Amino acid sequence: MKQDFLNYIQETFDFSKKEMSDFEWALSKPLGKSIRINTNKISVGDFKKIATENAWTLTESGLGKNMFYIDREDTSVALWNMLEHINGYFYIQEVAASSSPYYISGDIVDTDPYLILDMSASPGGKTTQLAEYYPNSLIVANEIDKARLKWLFINLNRMWAENVVCTNYDGRFFKQTGEIFDKVLLDAPCSWEGTSFKTDDALKYWNLKNIKRIAKLQFGLLEAAVKSTKVWGEIVYSTCTLNTLENEQIIEKIMKKYGDILEIIPVSKKNDFQRNWPHKNNTGWFFVAKILKIASLEEDLKIISKVQQWFEKIASKDIKNIKSYLLDRFEFDGSIYNFYTYRDEVYITSKTLDSLWERLFFKKTGIKIWTLKWSEFTPWFYLGTLFPFSAWTIDISGSELDSLFKWESLESELSDGYYQAIYKNHPAGMCKVKNGKFESLVENSFIRG
């Protein structure tokens, strides 16, 4: 119950009456809308030009070069349904929620090739952020919940996170992989106190018994993170909750058990951990801790049986054909990619998966670029969101874009085939023309109401 929560906060953090009333007031205060510009698809400078054209005001968030608060004059179309969002130019992300990748990277793009695990990744806010900070790394984005995996897939495609593969394990599985990851992010499932600005539910059902149950899972996941990290690798643990049981106490417990192989890396000169408070930071609530692994666990691992993948590697002669087709038809240079197939779908990733092929069962191997159904080739919508092609394009107006994103078909005199829609010089995804009608191949999750 909300009152139990307030009592807990008051007692645990010894807040004065004044601070407690500021805290309570901040609980119900809506947060400013914020976005992260996806520099994998557009530069901050080019995005700012679009913002000016759209009469959007961007204000620096103070946390990360790409994070901005956004104010819009015209809100008739929801932000998530704007072309710029569907095209993956930005991710709608709460400022404090972006802080774990910020603290992993120090807000610096690192081009070294690491193996990174994002242990509980859906819907992918932080995974897509890691894909920007670590463009040459292979990122394994894991999520236990199949329904939530769908949103991870959509966001990875939309943001064109081509160095990310997905798995569907209980995160505790990773204690069996051996010490293989250079960095592990555990953005842990938590009691979600910190989402109380979105919904009252987290506080309505707040109780210590529930929190202790979640804390047990969090410890198990963090233990798996410790076991799967390489020596001199880093682990970042974060939650969007304020109680100490799910935060400091988890770190205390892990240090107690593995203190001889771990060190806490303080997030600042003043603090070991980052704690964002609603009434102090004017952001969502967030906790971040950073840990360095300084020695091996030297455990004898149970040998994991060889994984049988659903995905297959495409034969090199077929890859040659695919690459030349991509180049001729879509001006898309496939030379740096690895190609995988699952049933009738073709996927590309900028990283080779060889080192993990027999160890992890993949649910997604990079970005899907097309499907082949009943001998009909269908390019994936997002292939047409990367850059404007010089041929096979259709210029569309704002009202046509609106119709396409309502999945309405428009009249066309073009011959049957696949084209890229272009709106105000921006690529607006792949479209299909058939029998004088053209329609967008946009995913149904983005259909405008």
Ligand X SMILES: C[S@@+](CC[C@H](N)C(=O)[O-])C[C@H]1O[C@@H](n2cnc3c(N)ncnc32)[C@H](O)[C@@H]1O
* Interaction between residue 123 and ligand X (CB under 6 A): yes
Candidates 125, 233, 379, 384; binder of ligand X (CB under 6 A) is: 125
How far is it, in rounded angstroms, from Cα 173 to Cα 177? 8
Pick the piece of the chain touching ligand X (CB under 6 A) from 2-10, 141-149, 305-313, 346-354. 141-149
Q: Is 41 within 8 Å of 89 (Cβ atoms)?
A: yes
Q: Which long-range contacts (CB under 8 A, 24 or more apart) does 428-432 make?
A: 428/83, 428/87, 428/384, 428/385, 428/396, 428/401, 428/404, 429/86, 429/87, 429/381, 429/382, 429/384, 429/385, 430/379, 430/380, 430/381, 430/382, 430/383, 430/384, 431/384, 431/394, 431/404, 432/378
In this structure, are strands 115-118 and 138-142 parallel, antiparallel, or unpaired? parallel
User: Among residue numbers 44 through 83, which ones bind ligand X (CB under 6 A)?
Assistant: none
- Is 227 near ligand X (CB under 6 A)? no
Tokens standing for residue 314 = 């495409």
Which of the following is catalytic: 166, 190, 240, 431? 240
CB 192, min distance to ligand X, A? 8
Interface map 173-192 toward ligand X (x if CB under 6 A): --------------x-x---
Residues 401-430, interacting with ligand X (CB under 6 A): none
Query: Strands, E, within 240-269: which ranges?
Result: 262-265
Total residues contacting ligand X (rule CB under 6 A)?
Answer: 18
> Judged by CB under 6 A, does residue 363 bind ligand X?
no
* Residue span binding ligand X (CB under 6 A) among the ranges 61-69, 102-110, 113-121, 405-413: 113-121
160: exposed, middle or buried (C-beta count within 10 Å: 0-12, 13-18, 19+)?
A: buried
Kindly give the residue spans of alpha helices, DSSP state H, lying in 14-75.
17-27, 44-53
Kindly state whether residue 121 participates in binding ligand X, applying the rule CB under 6 A: yes
One character per residue 247-286, x = contact with ligand X (rule: CB under 6 A): ----------------------------------------
126 counts as binding ligand X under rule CB under 6 A: yes
Cα–Cα distance for residue pair 277/250, rounded to 1 Å: 19
As measured in angstroms, the least distance from the Cβ of 94 to ligand X is: 10
**Interacting residue with ligand X among 84, 143, 234, 400 (CB under 6 A):** 143
Quick check: 148 binds ligand X (CB under 6 A)? yes
Least distance CB 93 / ligand X (angstroms): 8
Coil vs helix vs strand at 50? helix
Told to judge if 240 belongs to the known catalytic residues of this protein, a careful annotator would answer yes
Select the residue interacting with ligand X from 96, 144, 180, 410 (CB under 6 A).
Answer: 144
Contact between 233 and ligand X per CB under 6 A? no
* Nearest distance in Å: CB 87, ligand X: 19
Taking 3-state DSSP, the helix, strand and coil percentages for the chain, each rounded to the nearest 5, stand at 35, 25, 40
Determine how β-strand 345-349 pairs with β-strand 338-342. antiparallel
Does position 132 interact with ligand X (CB under 6 A)? The reply is no
- Binding flag, residue 36, ligand X (CB under 6 A): no
Nearest alpha-carbon partner for 430 in 415, 444, 440, 422: 440
Footprint of ligand X (CB under 6 A): 119-126, 142-145, 148, 170-171, 187, 189, 217
Catalytic site residues?
Answer: 240
